[in-house]
Structures are given as C-alpha cells and as structure tokens.
Structure 1
Amino acid sequence: MADHQYDLVVIGSGPAGEAAAMSAAKKGLRAAVIEKRNVVGGNCTHKGTIPSKALRHAVKQLMRYNTQHLFRALGEPRRLTFPQVMSEVNRVIPRQVEMHTSFYARNRVDLHIGEARFVEAGKLEVHLLDGAVETISAEKVVIATGSRPYRPEDVDFSHPRVYDSDTILDMQHTPKNLIIYGAGVIGCEYASIFAGLGVKVDLINSRGSLLEFLDDEISDALSYHLRDIGVNVRHREEYAKVIPDGRGVTIEMKSGKRIHGDALLWCNGRTGNTQYLGLEEIGLEANHRGQLSVDEHYMSAVEGVYAVGDVIGWPSLASASYDQGRAVANAVIGKGHRIIKDAPTGIYTLPEISSVGKTESELTAAKVPYEVGRAFFKHTARAQISGEKVGMLKILFHIDTLEILGIHCFGAEAAEIVHIGQAVMNQPAPNNSIEFFVNTTFNYPTMAEAYRSAALEGLNRVTRL
C-alpha cells in the first residue's frame, strides 16, 4: 500500500476538478487528482457536453445539406444513421483526452487512476484498476465527482431499448420513433438532434411549458421550432408505467394515454456521484439526489472538505464548473474569490438558445420599469447570406437609466452572441447602458450587428413614451 501526501487532492477530473487542480498548482500547492476512469475529462468529455455538442454539430451540417438550395443541386436529401454520425463524434473525444492529459504533466499535478473513498477526514483510499490500494493524505480535499442520469427504480434500464443520456451515445441502431421522457435542457437538445436525423420524436414534459426558467418568448419560440422539425411535444404528462418489450417501449401515462416508440430516452434529472465516496466515514451526508451543500467558500459541512461542479447542483454547467474550480482553489488558500451566480445559459438545441440576466416575468414580478428591444435574424444581411434566418436577439433594459437588465438570444450562434451583451451588461454604470450598441460601430455583415438593430428598436419605444 503506497502512501502519498499532498496539500490538496481533487476527486474527479471533469471541468471543476481540472480547474481546481490546475489553479492550486499554479498557486504553489502540491496537488493531485483522482479519476476513476482510465482517462481524464470526466463525464463532460466522455458522456456529456463534448459528445452531445459534437453530435449536434454533425446533425446540423446534415440538416443544412438537406435544406439549402445550393446543396440540392448535388442530389436528393441524404439520410445518415445514428451510428454513422456517432463515428464522427467519437473522433473528437480522443483529441480532448490528449489535450487535457497534457495539462496535468505540464503543471506537475499527479494523476491517480482509481476509485477514491474516504477513510477519515484528510485521508483517502484509492482502489486502483489493477486491484492495488493507495493511501492518499491531504490537508484539503475537493469533491468534483460530477453527476449521472437519474434512474428511477421502476424503469428497466437494462433493457436494450431503454436509454439514458449516457447510454444513448452507444446506441447501435436508428429508431423510427423515439420517446424522450423529460423536457429539460438535455431532453430538448436530444429531441432536436434526433428530429434532425429524421426520427419521429415524442417529447414528454411534466410542466406546462418548455424550460420555464427561460424568458417566455424564447420558450415559446423553442416550442414552435421543435414542432416545426417534427417533435411532438406533450405537456403536463407524467408516467405511470414503462413497459419495454421486443418491439419497443410503451409508456402508460397517469392521464391514461399510452405512447409507443421504438426506444425510450430517459432525461428526467441527474444525481450527484457521491454514493461510493464513503462520506459516512467523515460525517458528511448528501441529499436525496446525491448532492452536497456548500457555503460561500465552497466548503461542505466538514472542515477541509470542499465541493464544486455538478455535485453541488445548480447551475450544473461546464462553464460554471470551470469557474467554481478556480474559485475553490482561491478559497482553500484564503484568497478572495467569487461565487458563480451570473453564468449565462447555453442550450444547444437546433436552433440554440442563450441568455443572461433577468427575464420579462422576473422584471414584471419585481415591478421594474423596463422596455424591450428586438432584432430578428431574418432581417440581418449575415443571416440571409448564411441561410440561418431563424431566431432573434432580445434586450431588456431599464426605461429610466437605460441599464441592460437581460439578454436573450434564440438562433444560430446564440451562445456566442450573448457574450457581447454580457460584457456590456457587467460594466459599471453608466457604461452598462443600451446606448453602447448605437454608439459603437459593428462589422457588417455580422450576426453581432443585431445588437444595434435591437437597441435602436428599443430606444425608439422609450423615445415615444
């Protein structure tokens, strides 16, 4: 049994764990990472963000080929199977692993491959892949073990036609009809991906509208465009029973409906990966979803044990996890750090969605006097050239101060475009005004010039008051 001593040990090599370890090493701490896979990157690289976004990109390219007039001259619309598309996606993951692996060597962060378990506070056992056991001691431990799809006990996930958002990436056929249960971010993303492949999709939503945390207008636009590409969205439905057989899967709903598909993709929530950490040995308890509570310094209820990333719940974004990892490294050494509260949403449906700041509903409830400026992509030259005419940019701003209160974008490159508004919005007053966009020259033709159009439209409304 080998013994190792560190200043800080991170459990998990996803975005949060990697950022915590690298940042700690750059601050002079002797750091190590424990990863249970035999490669680094965490769920983000192997099952989540990277493969799903690479899959989306491939499907988007196929959709453009099949819909744009230029490509129609090359022949009839083409179909690709799901395994064919995934073969292209799987080229990306090894490149990501190679890049992230190099970070550890470059920053002299030790990497231990095995499953970690607490023996006591500040002491861990690592069960290696060859059966050996290492003992690792550290003054500080950061739990960054991420999350996995939630699996209710009454659904048979061992059945070959029942998938979750991890196992769907290994599917070896292309269903004609797919049921997606759960219309959160992951469910909506996969609904648009499979519809783009020509699969008939039933998207089952237990709520009254899609992604209710979004601005209402953006949520409505998503619902319309999902239906436009062939997704059958069913609101206010909950399952009573899942019945898989040799021909597919039938879901009996509490409403009495029976919905049949060739396969089922379960996308109803996620669970923190804490079940095998031996938390009981240090007196730490996760909630019913396997998540840990932390204070403003990302410290758990146990002194010297921190947690970041999906394992602490909201916002459960790779972007926020990277920032939380850097923040916890500062917290460990007693340096000032920020709590991540302002992460923009990035939802990679087809078309994509991104937003930052307040929604109209939130501003109305808070009785904030605001106005709206909109720009529709179909009116911009760049969108007309590229053929990406679906979507809009929406700016919410204070009627009196003209302060930007929210940016909401739906359409091509939304997750890129939103950062222009975010940068201006975060400036100190009065530089956070919507007037910035009319007093700044934008390249032409670009998607970014939608900010100028939206600002002019919004300011015209205020002028008429």
Structure 2
Amino acid sequence: MSNAEKKKHHIVIIGGGPGGYEAALAGVQLGAQVTLIERNGVGGAAVLTDVVPSKTLIATAEAAQRVSHATTLGVKFSFAGQIIKPKVEIDLGVVNQRLLDLAASQSSDMLETLMAAGVRVINGTARLDGNHHVVVDAIEDGRSERMEAKTIIVAVGAHPRRLPDAMPDGDRIFTWTQLYNLTELPEHMIVVGSGVTGAEFASAYNALGSEVTLISSRDKVLPGNDDDAADLIEHVFRRNGINIYNNTRADKVVNTGQGVEVTLADGKVIKGSHALIAVGSIPNTEGLGLEEAGVSLTESGHVEVNKVARTSRANVYAVGDCTTFLPLASVSAMQGRTAVFHTMGDVSAPTELRNVASNVFTAPEIASVGWSEKELNEGKVSGFVEKIQLNTNPRAKMQGIEDGFIKLVCSTGGTVIGGVVVAPRASDLIYSIAVAIENRLTVDELAKTFTVYPSLSGTISDAARALHRPNI
C-alpha cells in the first residue's frame, strides 16, 4: 500500500478501551487517518471501572495482609517503647478515592498519548450506518456527524450482567463497577458468583477485614481454572474465614435498608451488610447497527470474529469483550493491533488463544497458559505433567510463603505446551512459561536457562528439569 493510499485509509474505531486504544496507535503508526469515538473516557471500562480500580483495591488488600503477617517474619511493632500487636484499619473512602484518581489519571495519560499521535478523539456515541459509514453523536454539543470509513473497528466492551431478582442499587447491592462509591468497609460482604471477578473481590474484602460469604453455583470456586489451583484457593479461602456455599444459587437478593438478605435456592436466607453480584457480563453491542450492516452476532450478542478480529463483513473488525474471544485486556489489545495490521496489509499474526496467559488476582494469584492437565487427562493432547509445591522453594521459605505451586506441561517430545503458577505475583512468573510456549521451547531449553538463586522462578526451572526424558 503506497503512502498516499495509507493516508486515504480512514479507520473509525468505536470504543476506547485497551483494544480501541492500541488499534488507534497502530493505525497512526502505519500512516492511516484514525478517528476514535469513546463515550465515557479513554481506557474504557478496563481503566475506569474494571481492571485498573479493582487491581488497585487488591494491591491495597495485599499491603494490609503483609502488615498483618509481618510478625511471623520477626518484625515487631512498638508504641512508646511498648511492643504492640498490629491492627490494620482500612479507610475505604480514602482507598476508593485513590483508585478512582489513579484510574482517571491513567485515562488522561492515554488520551494525551492518542492526541499527540494525531488520533482524532470524539467524546460521544456511535453506530454503524451500513458497513462503510458511522454516525457519531457528540456528547458535548449534541451534534451528529456521518463519516465514511474504509475500516470500522468495534471495541465497545461489555457491562455487568444483572439479575431481575437481585437488581443492583448502588447502595447495598452492587455490580463490580459500583463498589468504588463505598466510603466504609462492609461489615459482611456477600458475593454472588464464584468466577474470576467474584473470587478476586472475595479475596480482597477478606484481606481488608470484612466478613465474606461466597455463593457458588458450581461444586468449587473458579470452576474454569486448573483443578489443583481451584482446590488450593478454596482451601485458603476457608482457612481465612470466608464462608463458601457450593452447588447453590441465589434466587433473590433484597436490600432491607439496614443490610441485605440473600435467599438461596434451598430456601436458606443469608444476612449481610452488602452484596456484590458477579455473574458475568453482557456485550455492549445492542443498538450499534451491526446486524443491519451484515455483521454476524451470537445469540448472546457477541460479535463473531476470526483470528485476525475480522467479522462477517470484510471491512468491519471487532475486538475485546464484545467479541467471541477471551475477555481479557491483553487479548483485546492484541486483537486491536492485529486488526489494523491486517486491514493495512502489514504482517499480522493470527491471535492464538492457546498461547494467551491469564491471571486470577486472588491471594495467592493463579496464572495459567497453554494446554491444561485436564485436557491432557482427557486425551486431547499427549504429554507429561510436573507439579512442585512452592513451600520447597528457598525464596518462598524466606518470604513466609506457604501456599502455591508450579505446574509444567510438556508434549511427549518434550516441548513446553502449558503451565500453571499459583503464587504471589504469579502474573509475572507465568511470563517465562508463556515465552517458552510461544517459541516452542523444550523443557531442556527452559531448564538450561539460568535463574537467580534464590528466586521463585527457580521452581519453574526445577519442574523443567524433572520433565527431562533421557535419550536412550
């Protein structure tokens, strides 16, 4: 594509979350004219109401937990020369204001980056008018504009699913986007839903000092994760005092004025001070004119896309939580770049979901990538598994880490094809395994790579060495 053709290539992006943001920067980098429309703020839900604020809250919970456990490492606290037992108190109003300020700052930084790069950013809403035009309604002045686009990228994200008999009110009953209005720590938080979001908030509020009850419709928390990891987290939750109800559903959640009452499917009523409804999300695709433009959607409203984020219309792409791909910020960002590379004729490697590393920010964290042990046991792939408990690691002992493990999966030929890390900062530790999978390294190649002694990553090398098969 010539430079003149690139400048004529107008990319219109609806949604400024991680996918839309990365797509915009990639488009400008390749010489296209780029317009991005975002209704709430650059960064979208990921920055303003989801990933950034929730992980900031979790970081505060981790700090509180470290202080509480410091005495087990020989750290003593004193006041006026007298040794005292530390009592951690949380000013949730200050915590929430900090995380909202941080989210707003991150959004502002992203907006400045886009504008400096030459992206036209419009604060407004948009819908497709056919597959080559977008109608934009600006929020500031209410003006409408119909613009022609050679490529349209839909990156509108998703919103929390609501239950008719457990409607969030922002007072006592919340979605995860409403929690940051709290000014006082909940006395008893009842979490409905034991997926990633429910488990993360249950872990965080427990560490902050709330009583927590977790209601799971499945036989264990985190049902989609590695079985050993899910079992460990449930064990840690129960040990830390979290009340867990498995194999049951919340039929109704009521704000009584002084608290909440949650009625379970068996008729049992659980009383608490607040409730969090974490039962999945719904794509923000309604009213966008997608079906009228010939873009295929699933029954749930998700946009059907292929590995380069292309929809059923050749010039319309979709990325992020509104699509049939994994609802992860990292995947959305990769999809955004890939979509632009593809439409601009640049080198575009298809997104391989098998190679995507994901993380659950509980305490400890759970990170995973590639083929799972369950899939190996089901015969979907052939290979070997090695699991090493983290309490045998010298650095873990030094830090007082008792819970966690490293699990490595390799093919029968010795290629690294999967891994699970359950540990503090598992989100960082999983990277070396993800690199090994992406580059088809063998366990021997991974094992001969030097690690620092002592380090938690040393156990990854230990697992790789244990999977060595003699060439006899």
Check whether TM > 0.5: yes
Deviation of 1:285 after TM superposition, in Å, equals 5.9
Contact 1:208–1:235 (Cα < 8 Å) also in 2:
yes
Q: Does 1:54 align with 2:69?
A: no
For the pair 1:410 / 2:422, whether they are aligned, the reply is yes
Structure 2 match to 1:36: 39
* C-alpha contact (below 8 Å) 2:436/2:446 kept by paired residues: no
Structure 2 runs not aligned, ≥5 long? 1-7, 79-83
1:376 is the counterpart of 2:356: no
Q: What is the distance in 2 between the residues matched to 1:361 and 1:376?
A: 19
Q: Give how far 1:379 is off.
A: 2.3
Shift of residue 306 of structure 1?
1.4
Determine the structure 1 residue equivalent to 2:349: 337
Q: Letter of the aligned partner of 1:86 in structure 2?
A: N
Note if 1:226 corresponds to 2:237.
yes
Match of 1:350 in 2: 363
Q: Which amino acid aligns with 2:429?
A: I
Aligned twin of 1:87: 97
Specify the code of the residue in structure 2 equivalent to 1:93.
A
Select the residue among 17, 22, 25 that pairs with 1:14.
17
Q: 1:72 to 1:228 in 2, by over 3 A?
A: farther
User: 1:280 & 1:369 partners in 2: Cα distance?
Assistant: 42
Aligned residue number for residue 77 of structure 2: 73
| Alpha-carbon distance in structure 2 between the residues aligned to 1:297 and 1:379 | 43
Structure 2 counterpart of 1:124: 134
Measure how far apart 1:116 and its partner are: 1.0
- Whether 2:302 is the aligned partner of 1:291: answer yes
2:186 matched residue in structure 1: 175
Quote how far apart the aligned CAs of 1:368 are: 4.7
Aligned-pair CA distance for 1:344: 0.9
Name which of structure 1's ranges 155-164 and 61-70 shifts more when overlaid on structure 2. Answer: 155-164
Deviations 1:22-70 (A, max 9, x none): 1111111111100102x31110100111111111111100110111125
- CA-CA distance at 1:112 after TM superposition: 0.7
Unaligned runs of 5+ in 1: none
Q: Residue 279 of structure 1 is aligned with which of 286, 290, 296?
A: 290
* Cα distance in 2, alignment partners of residues 31 and 349 from structure 1: 38
**Match for 1:141: what amino acid?**
I
Q: What's the counterpart of residue 275 of structure 2?
A: 264
Give distance in 1, aligned partners of 2:127 and 2:190: 37
| Aligned position for 2:65 | 63
Percent of aligned positions that are identical = 26
- Which residue in 1 is equivalent to 2:439? 427
Verify the 8 A CA contact 1:203 1:232 in the aligned structure 2: yes
Q: What is the CA–CA distance in structure 1 between the aligned matches of 2:65 and 2:452, rounded to whole Å?
A: 28
The verdict on how the C-alpha distance between 1:251 and 1:285 changes in structure 2, with shifts beyond 3 A counting, is: farther
Note if contact 1:144-1:309 (Cα within 8 Å) is conserved in structure 2. Answer: yes
Taking only aligned residues, the RMSD between alpha carbons, in angstroms, comes to 2.2
Q: Aligned AA for 1:391?
A: G
Distance 1:318 1:15 in 2: 6
CA contact (8 A) 2:170 2:179 kept: no
Find the residue that maps to 1:406 and give its secondary structure: strand
Answer yes or no: is the 8 Å Cα contact 1:125–1:133 preserved in 2.
yes
Rounded to whole Å, the distance in 1 between the matches of 2:170 and 2:351 is 42
**What per-residue deviation string (whole Å, max 9, x for no partner) do you get for residues 231-276 of structure 1?**
1121111122222211222121222222221111000010111223
**Kept after mapping to 2: 8 A contact 1:159/1:244:** no
3-state SS in 1 of match to 2:27: helix
Counterpart in the other structure of 2:117: 107
Q: Is the 8 A contact 1:10 1:34 kept in 2?
A: yes
Letter in 1 for 2:449: T
Give the aligned partner of residue 240 of structure 1. 251
- Cα distance in 2 between the residues matched to 1:159 and 1:99: 28
CA distance in 2, matches of 1:244, 1:326: 44
Residues in 1 aligned to 2:48 and 2:208: alpha-carbon distance in whole angstroms: 22
Question: How do 1:435-454 and structure 2 match up within 5 A?
Answer: 435-454=444-463
Pairing 1:133-152 to 2, within 5 Å after superposition: 133-152=144-163
Amino acid at match of 2:215: I
| Matched letter for residue 42 of structure 1 | G
Matches within 5 A, 1:179-190: 179-190=190-201
Deviation at residue 104 of structure 1 after TM alignment: 0.9
Which segment drifts farther, 40-49 or 89-98? 89-98
Tell me the distance in 2 between the aligned counterparts of 1:176 and 1:98.
34
Partner Cα distance (2:449, 2:305) in 1: 42
CA drift of 1:392 comes to 1.2
Inter-CA distance 91–387: structure 2 relative to 1 (3 Å threshold):
farther
Distance 1:237 1:248 in 2: 21
2:364 aligned counterpart, secondary structure: coil
Any conservation in 2 of the 1:6–1:32 contact (CA below 8 Å)? no
In structure 2, how many angstroms separate the alpha carbons of the residues matched to 1:161 and 1:435? 54
Helix, strand or coil at the partner of 1:33: strand
Deviations 1:329-388 (A, max 9, x none): 022124443124121111111111101112211101116553332333222232233333
Q: Which amino acid aligns with 2:432?
A: I
- Say whether the 8 Å CA contact 2:217–2:246 is kept in structure 1: yes
CA contact (8 A) 1:294 1:312 kept: yes
Provide closer, same or farther for how the CA distance between residues 6 and 177 of structure 1 changes in structure 2, counting only shifts above 3 A: same
Q: How many residues align?
A: 453
Amino acid at match of 1:244: N
Preserved CA contact (<8 Å) 1:356 1:406: yes
